[in-house]
Amino acid sequence: MNNVDVNKLMGMLSKMDKKDLENGLAQVSKMLNSKDKDAILKDIEKLNK
């Protein structure tokens, strides 16, 4: 991940409320442990355009 991705991610996280943030972090945790994390990250990028 490069710095631009991290900044974009932090921007998205800052707009979430606590419950959404906890759910989002749980999903991120699952993704990072997943074999197809690259595909998931691409899907997330598409959703945020």
Report d(CA 19, CA 3) in Å as an integer. 26
Domain spans, the chain: 3-47
Look up tokens 């959703």; give the residue.
Answer: 47
- Give the pLDDT confidence of 5-21 residue by residue, as tens digits: 778 877 877 777 888 87
**How confident is the model at residue 3, as a pLDDT?**
67
Distance of CA 41 to the CA centre of its chain: 7
- Give the pLDDT confidence of 24-34 residue by residue, as tens digits: 788 878 877 77
- Which residues neighbour 37 within 8 Å (Cβ) at sequence distance 6 or greater? 31
Other beta carbons within 10 angstroms of residue 24's beta carbon come to 14
The pTM assigned to this predicted structure is 0.37
